[in-house]
Amino acid sequence: MESSQIEFTRYINKVKETRAKITPQRMEILNIFLNNKNEHFTAEDIIKRLNTKTGQATVYRTLELFCQASILKKVNFKNEEFLRYDLLDLKNKHFHHHLVCNKCGKVMEINDDFLDHIEFKVLQDYDFITLNHELILNGICKDCQKDTENEK
Ligand SMILES: [Zn+2]
Ligand SMILES: [Zn+2]
Ligand SMILES: [Zn+2]
């Protein structure tokens, strides 16, 4: 495991590449994402978690900046009216996959790509180079499977 300091620097450097200034608020927002890697926060969630008083516009601007810097990605798994933000894993070539439970709405992440075979086939059969992909699998999570069994 790399130290959290090295990891933090790696993400901050991506933001610096956009020539944006690194402010204390921006660092705090980045840390919220780094400390909660499996969450998919809304802007509202971030505002609630911030210790320093930060205006709503600043938070939205920062999230937009992080998307431009390719450290966050906008996601929407359940046709919600608001956006959620997902931290990209800078060490992975492609975006991670998501499992979404139809019953409780829980979202889980899969970090194994699993698609190498498909990517290779697509290159062979369609002469198409896969740069990225978004995969959502809808279904029933482990906990909800148990609940269904108890109902029987
Ligand atoms: Zn995710
Ligand atoms: Zn892939
Ligand atoms: Zn569930």
Closest ligand to 39 CA?
A: 1
Give the predicted TM-score (pTM) of the model. 0.88
Domains of the chain in sequence order: 1-91 (1.10.10.10), 92-152 (3.30.1490.190)
Distance (angstroms) between ligand 2 centre and the Cα of 136 equals: 13
8 A C-beta contact, residue 88 and residue 69: no
67-88 tens-digit pLDDT:
999 999 999 998 889 999 999 9
Q: Residue 98: pLDDT band by 50, 70, 90 thresholds?
A: very high
Distance (angstroms) between ligand 1 centre and the Cα of 109 equals: 5
Closest ligand to 108 CA?
A: 1
